[in-house]
């Protein structure tokens, strides 16, 4: 399975940061990695980023609203992201769940909106530190898969991102064994519910993934790539992760 390395810039970046996208595009054009490459900048930069990328890498959004249009001040629909040049959108990132009260049901509606617009939905799940300490990591992730991935999922239009909340932006990561255990469990949940589509869907790991740990994490069982926050902001770090992915089968 070809891995996907996706960068989530979060609320970082102005037009000056497009130079980082240009640098990633040049790296990819000069030495094509053996993985798919996606950068999700803030919504304000999507159109410019897509124009700069010229198809050398994919550009995505970080969130969308489920409705197509309407009186939802400040919100953006999946169709608008598509129109701006995005081919994917992250839904249900833990920061959206935490700061915007997004429930599994809302995340599921957003995933459907992404499909409706022709975007790949990157559905984020992951346990809190307390849930892990209580031994509930697998159960939490299984529930989130069941509740936030809608019926009709296809592997072409859906990517799951396993992001333990306590590993995001902290520099801490689960052990390799813990990552593999959760990814295997997610695979089993997806396969049980969606059959061969569940078997094929890519499952990304996210949470303090960086050049120094990328190679070992990206070669673990059922890890289909990475979702990268902090280390995606600099082309040199992101490029090193692309290379680490390329070296893995
Ligand atoms: C993220 O927020 O999706 C993420 C993985 O962040 P970081 O890589 O900075 O932990």
What is the average per-residue pLDDT within 63-78?
98
**For residue 13, what are the contacts with CB-CB under 8 A and spacing of at least 6?**
20, 41, 42, 45, 233
63 Cα: distance to centroid of ligand 1 (angstroms) = 15
Share of the chain above pLDDT 70, in %: 99
Active site residue 100: no
The answer to the question of residue 148 being in a domain is: yes
The stretch 222-247 carries a mean pLDDT of: 96
Mean pLDDT score of the chain, rounded to an integer?
Answer: 97
The CATH number for 206's domain is 3.20.20.70
The answer as to whether 17 is a domain residue is: yes
**How does pLDDT run across 179-220, given as a tens digit for each residue?**
999 999 999 999 999 999 999 999 999 999 999 999 999 999
User: In terms of residue numbers, what domain contains 190?
Assistant: 137-229
Domain boundary among 125, 151, 184: 125
Q: Quick one: pLDDT band at residue 246, thresholds 50, 70, 90?
A: confident
* Residues 169, 72 within the same domain: no
- Domain assignment present for residue 234? The answer is no
Indicate whether 54 belongs to any domain: yes
CA 156/CA 11 separation, integer angstroms: 28
Q: Are residues 155 and 56 in the same domain?
A: no
- Which entry of 79, 93, 102, 185 is annotated as an active-site residue? 93
162 and 56 share one domain: no
Ligand 1 centre distance from Cα of residue 127 (Å): 14
- 30, 73: one domain: yes
Lining residues, ligand 1, CB within 6 Å: 8, 163, 168-169, 206-209, 227-231
The residue-averaged pLDDT of 167-183 equals 98
Q: Whose CA is nearest to atom 3 of ligand 1?
A: 229
Tell me, yes or no, whether 63 and 20 share the same domain.
yes
* Domain co-membership, 94 together with 187: no
Q: Is residue 26 part of a domain?
A: yes
Ligand 1, atom nearest to 168 Cα: 10
On whether residue 166 sits in a domain, the answer given is yes
Strand partners of residue 40: 8
Residue 55 CA to ligand 1 centre (angstroms): 24
Whether 136 sits among the annotated catalytic residues: the reply is: no
- When divided into structural domains, the chain yields a total of 2
For residues 64 and 102, membership in a common domain is answered with yes
119 and 161 co-located in one domain: no
- Split at pLDDT 50, 70, 90, the class of 131 is very high
Nearest ligand 1 atom, CA 167: 10
Residue ending a domain, choose from 125, 157, 178: 125
178 in a domain, yes or no? Answer: yes
Among 64, 96, 125, give the residue marking a domain's end: 125
User: Are 143 and 205 contained in the same domain?
Assistant: yes
Q: Where are the alpha helices (DSSP H) in the chain?
A: 18-30, 46-53, 78-84, 94-99, 104-117, 129-133, 137-148, 176-194, 196-200, 211-218, 235-247
Q: Measuring from atom 8 of ligand 1, which residue has the nearest CA?
A: 229
| Residues 75 and 159 occupy one common structural domain | no
| 21 and 81 both lie in a single domain | yes
How remote is the CA of residue 42 from the centroid of ligand 1, in Å? 14
Q: Residue 247 has what pLDDT?
A: 73
Query: Among the options 95, 163, 183, 185, which is catalytic?
Result: 163
pLDDT confidence of residue 249: 59
What is the number of the ligand 1 atom nearest to the C-alpha of 8?
A: 3
Task: Based on the fold, state whether residues 149 and 114 are members of the same structural domain.
Answer: no
Could you tell me if residue 63 is inside a domain? yes
């Amino acid at each position: 399975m070809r891995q996907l390395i996706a960068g989530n810039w979060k609320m970082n970046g102005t037009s000056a940061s497009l130079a980082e996208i240009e640098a990633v595009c040049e790296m990819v054009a000069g030495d094509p990695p053996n993985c798919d490459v996606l950068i999700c900048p803030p919504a304000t930069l999507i159109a410019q980023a897509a124009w700069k990328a010229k198809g050398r890498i994919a550009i995505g959004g970080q969130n969308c609203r489920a409705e197509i249009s309407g009186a939802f001040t400040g919100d953006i629909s999946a169709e608008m992201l598509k129109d701006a040049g995005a081919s994917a959108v992250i839904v249900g990132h833990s920061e959206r769940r935490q700061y915007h009260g997004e429930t599994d049901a809302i995340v599921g509606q957003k995933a459907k909106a992404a499909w409706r617009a022709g975007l790949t939905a990157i559905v984020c799940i992951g346990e809190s530190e307390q849930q892990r300490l209580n031994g509930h990591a697998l159960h939490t992730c299984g529930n989130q898969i069941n509740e936030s991935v809608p019926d009709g999922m296809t592997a072409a239009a859906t990517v799951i991102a396993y992001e333990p909340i306590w590993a995001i932006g902290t520099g801490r990561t689960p052990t390799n064994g813990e990552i593999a255990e959760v990814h295997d469990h997610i695979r089993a949940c997806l396969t049980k519910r969606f059959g061969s589509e569940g078997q094929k869907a890519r499952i990304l790991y996210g949470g303090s993934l960086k050049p120094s740990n990328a190679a070992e994490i990206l070669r673990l069982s059922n890890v289909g790539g990475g979702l990268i926050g902090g280390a995606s902001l600099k082309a040199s770090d992101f490029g090193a992760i692309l290379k680490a992915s390329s070296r893995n089968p």
